Amino acid sequence: MDALKIDESGGHDAVPDAADFTLSDDPFGLFAAWMAEATASEPEDANAIALATTGADGLPDVRMVLLKGYDARGFVFYTNVESAKGEELAANPQAAFVLHWKSLRRQIRVRGPVSRVTAEEADAYFASRHRDSRLGAIASRQSRPLSGRDALMAEVAELSARYEDGPVPRPENWTGFRIEPVAMEFWRNGDYRLHDRVRFTRNGEGWDRSRLYP
């Protein structure tokens, strides 16, 4: 059998940046710039993040979710608080996530404590969702055993009939969580694994910046 050959160059050149991003003093501005580029170029779900939490048993857990908002306060995603991730965040309200854009050869890592968004924020986002997604959020006992897909679809149909064309209320067990970053790291692919990395660490109201070895 032939030996497996790996292209240490990464397969192609890294996507060039107009400026050296490792010199930026504003991690949120850099995040917004990279997200805008990804949104314009990625085929779908440029906002998909791998979200890591840790439960009461100390074991880490990770899954893909969608980042639904970000500003200077932090990064927001939504879920059922009775789901596995919701229960893990209740036991240990800290989380981390990574964004990886393969076509841009970039990734961003974020970690920090987690808190719930306000009821007003959750209501506003829930109301913006497609009606069927709202019905699904009510019907799903997320992370719990399901006897079969027919049972789920029957519940969705019953809810659809109950609310007809009226408003679909946000269930109390569905809300958003905000990760308030204490560290943010930006990575760009380099040929032969000579990548560019810069890490921002929270220092009071500001940030300390460190360039890292690949």
User: Does the reported pTM lie above 0.85?
Assistant: yes
Return the domain boundaries, the chain. 21-127+172-212
Query: If you average pLDDT over every residue of the chain, what do you get?
Result: 90
CA distance 45 to 28: 20
Token duo for residue 89? 């965040």
CATH 2.60.40.10 at 21-127+172-212, yes or no: no
State mean pLDDT over 152-165. 89
Stretch 20-36: mean pLDDT, rounded? 93
Residues making up the binding site for substrate: 68, 125, 129, 133, 193-195
Is residue 23 over pLDDT 90? no
Higher pLDDT pick, 7 / 49 = 49
CA-to-CA separations, 79 to 93, 99, 130, 131, 173, in angstroms, rounded: 14, 18, 15, 16, 8
Cite the annotated binding site for FMN by residue number.
Answer: 63-68, 78-79, 85, 107, 142-143, 187, 197
pLDDT more than 90, % of the chain = 74
Q: Is pLDDT at 12 greater than 50 in this prediction?
A: no
Task: Summarize pLDDT for 72-105 with one digit per residue, the tens.
Answer: 999 999 999 999 999 999 999 999 999 999 999 9
* Res 3 pLDDT > 50: no
- Banded pLDDT at 11 (limits 50, 70, 90): very low
pLDDT at 2 over 80: no
- Cite the DSSP H helix spans in the chain: 27-41, 84-91, 119-128, 131-139, 149-163
Q: Which residues of 28-60 are buried (b: 16+ CB within 10 A; e: fewer)?
A: bebbebbbebbeeebeeebbbbebbbbbeeeee
Q: With bands split at pLDDT 50, 70 and 90, how would you rate the model's confidence at 18?
A: low
Higher pLDDT residue, 16 or 169?
A: 169
Catalytic (active-site) positions:
193
**Which residues have C-beta within 8 Å of that of residue 168, sequence separation ≥ 6?**
131, 134, 135, 138, 159
pLDDT at 6 over 50: no
Q: What is the CA radius of gyration of the chain?
A: 20
Axis-axis angle for helices 131-139, 149-163 (nearest 10):
120
Binding residues: 63-68, 78-79, 85, 107, 125, 129, 133, 142-143, 187, 193-195, 197
Per-residue pLDDT, 57: 86
CB 195 within 8 A of CB 189: yes
* Residues 101-154: tens digit of each pLDDT: 999 999 999 999 999 999 999 999 999 999 999 999 999 888 888 889 989 999
Greater model confidence, 11 or 189:
189
For residue 171, which amino acid is it? P
